[in-house]
Chains A and B, each alone.
Chain A
């Protein structure tokens, strides 16, 4: 179980959010959606142990978190295969022991052997994000933290990687926290949608999606999004975002 308990945090004298509580059950995919600046990424950073809350606490029953960022964050001086192995090497494993595992996982992610020998600058954006996904999955995580991993990709590729991700998550029985701007993406791949807003700050709405992530018909996804947007607090959160875009 992963739980933030009345967590507050501020940086440089500015409050990012205060008194947020959220619990994520075992084996669930939870999406955090909301306008930029509402503190989604900060929430994830606290869970990853990269930021400390000013008050409140984090309860984390997971031992082995993996993370994928908005940018691939690959080491430019390491080949794709070595980048994928980064977490394993950091844990002191030998390359003979995991070579095959990396290649097998790479194949399911749509990367062949030749891609693994390339440097990140020789790969396309989608390929790089596959490598980053592989790096997070190969350590056999029990919790996956995803910070808008597909937002920089074009729509077709995005959907392909979403399917790939959901398949991996369900096969491995992972728990995942997924940040996105995109309500449709959230409705497609998550069990629970958590809507955050800036005014009022914090979590404004939670919605459990029926059915199995990744297996929902498009029709249901769009009607769920329609229903969500009919809720006043959700509509407000997303309208604010639209105004910002203009």
Chain B
């Protein structure tokens, strides 16, 4: 019963998001009415073109290529960034040593990485994957460091008095705190991963959504370009709202107000 209610509440909260989405589509339509087909094709045309891509199978193959690169790169950077970040957070010296490196990494624009990756890996799938990894590691790293640096020593003292083992202190006292910092960082990193993957594909590969966009640009096919943009955004929204957001809700019920006000954390992120 509780689960059904949770799902209902979750989907109800989607209505608010839909209002914004439709407003956006309406603006797009208005832009089309003003500037015409060549500058901005109608949303319906873009969607129809997207339907064609789904039909001939190119949408699925392009999306899966991009998804593997984005999600794979994100997974690697999430793992490395979080682990190294937690370790750095535990030692002040390590944090001091790594921080300038992270600042430098954050400062290098993704496009520069793409150039480097192109030279190193050539026009293969490794180029977008590598670019995703190096651009999102600093984000997950920073989240992990921040979470670890702000651990509550008072709670740790409490746990020690009640004779918790080091493992239990980590699992029950430290980990939930660190996760509450890591989750937003992961979501940010994942959003970035899609964009960077598509960008790298556009310049470097012959498959994936980015490569299709490059082709559409060469053919001056605006409807196809818009269709691929819609596909990218759709994928991103799907991963975020069907995987990350429910996961976050599950692990962070302790932070939320009782049902009905569950959107506060989302708002903060936006």
Contacts and interface: CB of A to CB of B under 8 A. Distances in A.
A49 B162 CA distance: 11
A169 B74 CA distance: 55
Contacts of B168: 89-90
A65 B176 CA distance: 26
Contacts of B165: 90
Interface stretch (A29-37, A71-79, A107-115, A186-194): A71-79
A75 B165 CA distance: 16
A78 B254 contact: yes
Given A73-B154, A75-B155, A75-B176, A65 B258 contact: no
A76 to B, nearest CB: 6
Contacts of B253: 119
A121 B255 CA distance: 8
A50 B160 contact: yes
A71 B255 CA distance: 19
B254 A121 contact: yes
Contacts of A71: 154
A87 B254 contact: no
A90 B162 contact: yes
Given A76-B254, A78-B254, A119-B254, A139 B157 contact: no
Interface in B162-184: 162-165, 168, 172-173, 176
A122 B257 CA distance: 8
A69 B154 contact: yes
B159 interface: yes
Closest 3 CB pairs of A and B: A87-B162, A90-B164, A77-B254
B142 to A, nearest CB: 22
Contact of A78 (B157, B161, B172, B258): B172
Contact of A50 (B157, B164, B252, B254): B157
B158 interface: yes
B161 A86 contact: no
A84 B165 CA distance: 17
B254 A67 contact: no
Interface of B: 154-155, 157-165, 168, 172-173, 176, 252-255, 258
A76 B255 contact: yes
A48 interface: yes
Contacts of B157: 50, 73
Contacts of A86: 159, 162, 164, 172
Given A73-B158, A78-B254, A121-B254, 4 more contacts: A69-B154, A75-B155, A76-B255, A78-B172
21 contacts: A49-B160, A50-B157, A67-B158, A69-B154, A69-B158, A71-B154, A73-B154, A73-B157, A75-B172, A75-B173, A76-B254, A76-B255, A77-B252, A77-B254, A87-B163, A89-B168, A90-B162, A90-B163, A90-B165, A90-B168, A119-B254
Nearest to A90: B164
B254 A73 contact: no
Contact of B162 (A121, A122, A135): A135
Contacts of A78: 172, 254
A245 interface: no
B258 A122 contact: yes
A193 to B, nearest CB: 25
Nearest to A120: B254
A90 B160 CA distance: 9
B38 to A, nearest CB: 54
A65 B252 CA distance: 32
A89 B163 CA distance: 10
Contacts of A139: 162
A91 B254 CA distance: 24
A153 to B, nearest CB: 18
Interface in A79-116: 86-87, 89-91
Interface string A161-203: 0000000000000000000000000000000000000000000
Contact of A77 (B159, B161, B164, B176): B176
Contacts of A77: 176, 252, 254-255
Nearest to A70: B154
A120 B253 CA distance: 12
Contacts of A122: 258
A86 B165 CA distance: 12
Most buried by B among A76, A77, A121, A139: A77
A175 B263 CA distance: 48
Nearest to B258: A122
A67 B161 contact: yes
A145 B159 CA distance: 14
Contacts of A50: 157, 160-161
A66 B160 CA distance: 11
Contacts of B158: 67, 69, 73
